[in-house]
Amino acid sequence: MTRTGFILANLFHKKTRTWLTLLSIGMAFVLFGLLQSLNLVFSAGADFVGATRLVTQSRVSFTQSLPMRMVPEMDAVPGVQRVMYQQWFGAVFREDPQIFAFAVEPQRLHDVYPEWVMPEAQWKAFIDNRTGMIAGRGLADKYGWKVGDKIPMKSNIFPQKNGSKDWTFDLVGIYDGKDEEWQRNTAGGMYVNHAYFAEAALFGGGNAGIFVLKLEKPEMAESVASTVDKRYENSADETKTQTEKDFQVGFVKQLGDIGLIVRWILFAVFFTLLLVVGNTMAQSVRERVPQFAVLKTLGFTDNNILGFVLAETMALCVIGGVVGLAIATSLGAVVAKFAGPMLPLAVDWRVWVAGVIAIVVLSLTVGLLPALRARRLKIVDALAGR
């Protein structure tokens, strides 16, 4: 037998309670891992590394449109290869408002988003047909749309000049994603021709919600963003230029101060955990008072006993914490795979470092008082049950 074996044997002296406590710690650290990773996503600063496209929106909010006159101005910014613009259409098909419909210039969409794969004939039809629309494969399959169909659509924002919010488009193409991740994004997406939208809409035709800037080289991302934003500084249409990833994260940030919410949830989780594990350890020490007295009788010092109890607590927290963080890592990868760039969760080394610190702090916080109690035990009193 070794000291480690002795500590582990004592840890499981009440098997059911230990397993339940481990389960609590494990679950808490699964939450910790995922939430901490979420926190990192939302608290991360601008990261331009590897960006091939930038998104320019109004500095105030992406719900505020920008004027179309900016298109040639942005096209002229050094490092910008091509600019695409898009306006949120607010499409509702039947009762389904969950359609991501944008009015775009077809040729620019084709040039800037090679990830959308569609026969060239359909791209040409989209470019040539002012009432044309293209739909993602997932959306088309959902409603059984086929190329050549006329699709009646409502806009919950833009009426036509005749006052009607009913629009009809000709489905001229169905696009796929270049890979599995992009294919998933075809589930709710469609595009209509901005020229037709600009001509027919009662208002908003001269504006675009965002501009997507395709870069000549990824390393120019930061300078392009800075040039664009500086150009419109102190104007009526101040801009904010960021990577697509940061722009998508910004979508989720609309829910509120995610970082604050996450911190409060983590605080609640750890406070509860503190009580659960603290109670377990206190009870465990209380039950074993005579055993600690025997250990002291055999010659183990007060500090040995303190060490045993702290080591037990540490073992409990390390086992539960590491298993929990490992599960969180796997879950984070699954979530990131399915959520895509909208929620790039990654339980990475930073989360693990924070997790290890949390494990140590938790162990010391919950273990110290019971350990000191065990350390202070007087052999004669403890053996006599006093």
For binding to another protein (CB under 8 A), which residues are involved?
A: 1-3, 5-6, 9-10, 12-13, 290-291, 294-304, 379-380, 383
Which is closer to another protein, CB of 111 or CB of 302?
302
β-partners of residue 208 are: 66
Q: How far is the CB of 9 from another protein (least distance, A)?
A: 5
Report the C-alpha gap between 300 and 1 in whole angstroms.
16
Which is closer to another protein, CB of 2 or CB of 16?
2
Apex 228 CA angle, 222 and 230, nearest 5: 95
Report the C-alpha gap between 261 and 352 in whole angstroms.
21
Tokens of 39: 């926190």
Closest CA to 276 of 17, 10, 3, 14: 17
DSSP-derived pairing of the beta strands 189-193 and 100-104: parallel
Tokens of 133: 């629309």
Closest CA to 339 of 245, 254, 264, 260: 245
Q: Angle, nearest 10°, between helix axes 244-253 and 15-43?
A: 120
C-alpha dist (Å) from residue 240 to 83, 180, 214: 15, 30, 16
Which is closer to another protein, CB of 221 or CB of 295?
295
Which is closer to another protein, CB of 5 or CB of 114?
5
Which is closer to another protein, CB of 92 or CB of 289?
289
What's the distance, Cα to Cα, between the start and end of the chain in Å?
31
Q: Which residues, other chains included, contact 274 with Cβ-Cβ below 8 Å and sequence gap of 6+?
A: 362, 365, 366
Q: What is the DSSP letter of 68?
A: T
Q: How far is the CB of 296 from another protein (least distance, A)?
A: 7
Sign of CA dihedral 139, 145, 148, 154: negative
Q: How far is the CB of 290 from another protein (least distance, A)?
A: 6
Q: Which residues, other chains included, contact 259 with Cβ-Cβ below 8 Å and sequence gap of 6+?
A: 39, 42, 43
| Contact indicator for 57, 66 with CB cutoff of 8 Å | yes
Q: What is the DSSP string of 159-174?
A: -BTTS--EEEEEEEEE
Backbone angles phi, psi at 156, to 5 degrees: -85, 10
Q: How far is the CB of 379 from another protein (least distance, A)?
A: 5
Q: How far is the CB of 309 from another protein (least distance, A)?
A: 14
